[in-house]
Amino acid sequence: MPKKVIFSITGMHCASCAMNAENALKQTHGVVSAAVNIANEKAAVEYEPLSVTLEQLYNVINGIGYKAVPAGEDGSGPEVYAYDNIRKQAWEWRSSFLWALLFCTPLLYLSMGQHIGLPVVVHNNFKNALLQLLLSTPVLILGRGFYVRGIAAVIKSRRANMDTLIATGTGTAYVYSVIITLLILLKTPGFTAHMVYYETAAVLVMFMMLGKWLESAAKTRASGAIEKLVKLQPETVIIEDKDNGEKVVGINLVQPGDVVVLKPGTRVPVDGKVIAGMSAVDESVITGESVPVDKRPGDRVVSGTFNKNGILKFVAEVVGEKTVLRQIVKLVENAQMTKAPVQRVADTVSSYFVPGVIIIAVLTFILWMALTQDAVRAFTAMVTVMVVACPCALGLATPAAVMVATGVAAQNGILIKSADAIQMLDEVDTVVFDKTGTLTTGEMSVEKVIPALEWSEDELLRFAVSLEKLSEHPVAGAVVKYAVTNHLLDNGKGEGSASDFVNHEGEGVKGVVQNRVVVVGKKGFLSKVGVSEVNIATIITSAAQNAVSQGKSVVWIGVDSIIAGIVIVGDKVKPGGRDVVERITKTGKEVYMLTGDNPRAAEEVGKLVNIKMGNIIADVLPKDKAAQVEKLMLNKRKVAMVGDGINDAPVLAIADVGIAIGTGTDIAVESADVVLMSDNIGAVSTALSIGYHAMVKIKQNIAWAFAYNILLIPLAAGGYYLLTGVQFEPMLAGFAMAMSSVSVVTNSLALYLVDYNAG
């Protein structure tokens, strides 16, 4: 059975690097799928362990010039490593840039100072060229990584990358300048210090360092969401020791069953159940809800949440990689490793980009030589083309935005499982809500019990509860809870045992209690199984009609083929239900409600939340809900289905995007593409808003990356000279190239500034 592993890769500096690593992994025998993300410098690989080992996968990466950082078999690994590494890179690039700037400042004075009216300090041609050589060489040594990686990419993987372009362009300029310097030394006629390109090579490398520094700094901010989540888990835990009282242990030593002592102002280290104490716990990092939740014995606490004011003792139940916090980290990390469909075009272009640029550069040199016979101009144009091209912007267009969007979503208590889901959240034009537990609280409560004249309320409930206690339906639970709460079963008799129990999903239940056939469910179901509607008491009929008109549910009870009474059960619309429907409708999307309840009850809820009557689909059995969604999809609608994630699993799976309402702990809803960590219905519109704004940024990034290269490569090749009579300088090209990828990441970071809850 295939396994999946996520591990870090160091040494990648561009989209072509990521593409080379990804292709190398995909071509490895035993690899089912592979994705390499340049934004967070990680690889996600699905592989057959019988055909290839983890060590062999790492060797594949090491063999093409990069370094694989091992992860655990479960794919967890040291998540923070990649982000610490990106931060470390930012500081290293900053240091290299500042040193390069120190050398490039006098170098620029020597080479170009006289062009802006500065006095010439070194008149001797050879001394001038030699001094430029001495000043530029340390800069190239500082940037030696560009040359090592650029050459290694061609030799080891037979694929060029952005470093290859930089190495070729600046290396050619440097070697050319060294040759000119030697010719000046040999006093060859016609050669002067004005003909060297040391400053071009050095300043270009300096600009690359500047760009990498700014890009790494931006990527550190973009990738901060997972790092913050990981660091929410404390490193030490206080546990009760039967012999020595309390003791402090490392988080990795906590075992299920340990009693954890949680002091005020500390974070919950593992998942568990409270056994003593009372406190308010801030769960906003998990659910996105800012209001603290009171915790008492019997309540659950989850890792990463913050204990505000009381001392709690709880039994550790889930530790290590299985805690809610670690599962969230995995889901967000996995989502960041996926690619949105819109990125595939950019990836295809990137795979041909560098070879194409090299061909264009060579053709540019040939064309300039043919037209001008000026080797200096031809050489300058060729170098400028190689330097100005930027595959990085294309490669970062989607990953940078996905990384920020999934982080923003997690901070709002929303787990988006893939880049595909982000794109689909933007594309959906129809949102279908399940009613019970989604638009309504799902906490059904009995409002009235009306028995037939020959029955008492106690007797009626005893027969009903004998069956309802065997059902998992929320209405059944409400009936049982009502009977227990009101002590109607504590008269020495209690409810009876049921035999021949049959559950007709979505309709009702049937069984034998005390040798009597009992049926509980919808009125139509009772008729279907032979319960007579003759001689139903007027009070029952009238009460049932009135309840239905108010949007309440009516549970009919039949004993021995005769109607014995009804139970009226009500549900409440969730706070914010109407608001979220109106917010979604304002965006131009159609909102539907899907329910197994009767039409009158469904319409009542529809009125309360402002869903159009024509968009309410009622009386639908659970097994038929998926067919209703399919019907909408067959009408060329892009459908988002919102449900509770358990009862609605089939329909969540079949929709274009399934959105599951979670509970704060139920995050592994396999059938959903998006999981809301709280029952706040407003998070649905927040998720849709995140999808919309993320796709805006992705499209902007891709458009910018294409526009940049389509516009500047022709300008660098000679278009700028044709327009202005001035040749596009390599140094200006280098600065533009450095800033292009920075602009993509910076544009993605703007997602942090959006108000996703605005109307």
pLDDT, residue 631, reads 92
Largest CA distance in the chain: 124
d(Cα 697, Cα 745) in Å, to the nearest integer?
A: 10
- The kind and range of the H/E element at 577 are helix 577-586
pLDDT, residue 419, reads 85
pLDDT, residue 757, reads 79
| Over residues 340-358, mean pLDDT | 76
pLDDT band of 116, cuts 50, 70, 90? low
Give just the sign of the alpha carbon dihedral 38, 41, 44, 49: positive
pLDDT at 156 over 70: no
pLDDT band of 759, cuts 50, 70, 90? low
Higher pLDDT, residue 489 or 693 = 693
The 8 Å CB, 24+ separation contacts for 378-383 are 379/172, 379/173, 379/176, 379/197, 380/197, 380/727, 380/729, 380/730, 381/716, 381/717, 381/718, 381/721, 381/727, 381/728, 382/172, 383/169, 383/170, 383/172, 383/173, 383/197, 383/200, 383/730
pLDDT band of 74, cuts 50, 70, 90? very low
Q: Where in the chain is the domain with CATH 3.40.50.1000?
A: 414-440+573-691
**Mean of the per-residue pLDDT values of the chain:** 83
Question: DSSP per residue over 585-640, as a string?
Answer: HHTT-EEEEE-SS-HHHHHHHHHHHT--GGGEE-S--GGGHHHHHHHHHHTT--EE
- The kind and range of the H/E element at 564 are strand 562-570
3-state secondary structure of 696: helix
Q: Where in the chain is the domain with CATH 3.40.1110.10?
A: 445-570
Identify whether the C-beta of residue 164 lies closer than 8 Å to the C-beta of residue 18.
no
What would the CATH number be for the domain defined by 3-77? 3.30.70.100
pLDDT, residue 676, reads 87
> Any idea which of 387-401, 610-624, 670-684 has the lowest mean pLDDT?
387-401
Q: Over the stretch 639-679, which tens digit does the pLDDT of each residue have?
A: 999 987 566 778 888 899 999 887 655 654 667 889 888 88
Q: Where in the chain is the domain with CATH 2.70.150.10?
A: 234-322
> Any idea which of 215-224, 254-263, 419-428, 582-591 has the lowest mean pLDDT?
215-224
pLDDT, residue 78, reads 44
> Token pair for residue 548?
């239905």
pLDDT band of 477, cuts 50, 70, 90? confident
d(Cα 133, Cα 147) in Å, to the nearest integer?
A: 18
pLDDT, residue 317, reads 92
Q: Which of 4-8, 485-489, 734-738 has the highest mean pLDDT?
A: 4-8
pLDDT, residue 297, reads 93
Q: Over the stretch 718-743, which tens digit does the pLDDT of each residue have?
A: 888 888 887 887 778 777 877 787 88
pLDDT, residue 75, reads 40
pLDDT at 485 over 80: yes
- CB contact set of 116 (below 8 Å; sequence gap of 6+): none
Instruction: Determine what percent of the chain is predicted with pLDDT higher than 90.
Output: 24
Give just the sign of the alpha carbon dihedral 270, 271, 276, 280: positive
d(Cα 328, Cα 225) in Å, to the nearest integer?
A: 11
Q: Is the domain covering 414-440+573-691 a CATH 3.40.50.1000 domain?
A: yes
Catalytic residue of the set 434, 656, 673, 679: 434
d(Cα 400, Cα 84) in Å, to the nearest integer?
A: 17
Q: Where in the chain is the domain with CATH 3.30.70.100?
A: 3-77
pLDDT band of 101, cuts 50, 70, 90? very high
| Over residues 583-601, mean pLDDT | 89
User: Top-level CATH class of 445-570?
Assistant: alpha beta
pLDDT at 158 over 70: no
Q: Over the stretch 87-97, which tens digit does the pLDDT of each residue have?
A: 777 888 889 99
Residues comprising the chain, all counted: 759
pLDDT, residue 159, reads 66
Give just the sign of the alpha carbon dihedral 157, 158, 161, 165: positive
pLDDT band of 3, cuts 50, 70, 90? confident
Told to judge if 648 belongs to the known catalytic residues of this protein, a careful annotator would answer: no
pLDDT, residue 153, reads 63
| Over residues 565-569, mean pLDDT | 92
pLDDT band of 330, cuts 50, 70, 90? confident
What would the CATH number be for the domain defined by 234-322? 2.70.150.10
| Over residues 142-148, mean pLDDT | 84
| Over residues 112-127, mean pLDDT | 76
Instruction: Determine what percent of the chain is predicted with pLDDT higher than 70.
Output: 90
